[in-house]
Every structure is written in structure tokens, then in C-alpha cells.
A and B are shown apart, each in its own frame.
Chain A
Amino acid sequence: MSDHSDQVRAETERFAQALPRLLETHRGEWAVFKDGSVQQFYGSEDDAFTAAVDRFGPAGGFVVAPIVERRPIALSAAVAFGLR
């Protein structure tokens, strides 16, 4: 993975740490998160992404994420069924 991907991965971890606090006040909104803090909240993902690209560039190392609880996503029904 590229440096940029590593940057986004690290930023995602910081976002996950901040998420419980953000849920109290901004549940359901979209955040642009960079340098360990929320840069701005938005009403839609497209608005958040557009603003982030305008400000930081397409590979600006930012995170665009919804303010919702993070739960592991099942890739397939086989996983939910418990097949190995």
C-alpha cells in the first residue's frame, strides 16, 4: 500500500477513537477528518468528499466517514451463516 493509504489508515484509527464523542453531538452527519480532528461536518457524503478534495486534493490523506457506530461488515451471506 502507498504512503497515502498508510496515512488514511492511521487517520481512520484516530477517527475511530474520536467517534464515541462525535456520536453525542453529530450522529448521522458526515465528517472530513484530518490531522486527528474533524475539519468540518456535512449533510451528505458527496458534499464532504467534494469539500475535502477541494481543500486537500484527491490524495490529501483525509478521511470521509459517517458519524455512526462502526460494526464489522459481512462480506457475504456465507459469513453470516458461519461457513468456513
Chain B
Amino acid sequence: MRHVGRVTNPPLGLIAVGPLVEVTIQPHAVVAAQFTAQGLPVPAEAARLMVDTGAQRTCIDQAIAARLGLAPIRYEPMVGVSQKAENYPVFLVQMGLGMAEGEITQQAIWSAEVVGVPTISVGAHAGLIGRDFLAHFDFRYHGRDGTFELVTPVQVGTDASRREKEELRAKRKVERQARKKNRNRRR
């Protein structure tokens, strides 16, 4: 499966805009399942991130994390342009990426860590896709024709099926807890 990015007016278009990828960010499957079990919509947000092979980690604007109600799982020291290590929150999320193979198109979904950084949306992107995310793909950059590709041998659906199973498991757990609570109330 592959995700193909394309800009107009190559090669200058790709130089000016860069390899931007639109991903969908939402809470981890276990948290998403709790929303679903309560009949609430799972919060999700589309964000354009720039592929940056110079970035160790994938990061997003902290404002996105705030809008999605994400809770950090820890803080990690990161060095930015200030050259000083500062602690930033790390979130565990699901990231979705539109991929295709021939006629088949599907949203591939991964569980991924993202680092929340203070507002970095100075351009057309709201974060960076770092080498941790790229570890799952072959990244092909075709500068002359203004395209780039993220290619994975993973069959789309594998991770989606896993997510569905996780959501189902979490939903059943919430239902079990509700039943237990009801039983205790009756007593």
C-alpha cells in the first residue's frame, strides 16, 4: 500500500511546499472505545504534517492535543532551536493515513507516539513526521516530478482489524463494569 503526495509546478512546488502529508489524529484505540461505549463520537482531527527525516520524533502542535482532549503519558526532554533541552508531553494516539494499492483505497491506522510542541504552525503544516513514524515505511522522494511516496508492505486492514478488536474488547469491559455496578446497586 502506498500514500502518494503530489505538488503542482515541479520541481519548484515541492521545494516551496515540501512533502506534506494529511493524517488523522485521534485518541488511542482503548480510549476511543470508551467514547464509543458511552455513545459519544470519537474526537478526531485532520492535520497536515511535513515529512522531516531530520526529526527523530513525530511531533504535533500542542493545540491539537488540547482540542482532542489527549492526556500525556510522560514528558521527555527535547532540544529545539533554543538548543536547550525542555520537557515536552508525549501522547499515545492513533494516526490514520490514506493509502491505496490499485483500485483499493483505505485508511491505514497506527498506534503512535507524538510529542506535543508549543505552536509550530508558522507554515502550512501543524507538525512533523519524524523518523519514528518513517520506521514503518519506505519514503521515496521524487524531486524532479514533484511527488513523494510512503510505501509499506503491511496489508491495510491488519492494523484496522487490530484496532477494531481492541475497541470491542474495551467496549465489552465497559459493559461488564456497568453490569457489575448495576448488580451492586440492586444489592
Contacts and interface: CB of A to CB of B under 8 A. Distances in A.
Nearest to B132: A73
B75 A9 contact: yes
Interface residues on B, range: 35 or more
Nearest to B70: A58
Contact of B117 (A15, A72, A74, A75): A75
Contacts of B80: 75-76, 79
A65 B74 CA distance: 7
Interface residues of A, number: 33
Contacts of A5: 71-72, 89
A9 to B, nearest CB: 5
A75 B92 contact: no
A67 interface: no
A47 to B, nearest CB: 10
Given A45-B92, A79-B79, A8 B57 contact: no
Contacts of A18: none
Nearest to B34: A58
7 contacts: A45-B113, A49-B28, A62-B73, A72-B78, A72-B79, A75-B56, A76-B80
A75 B71 contact: no
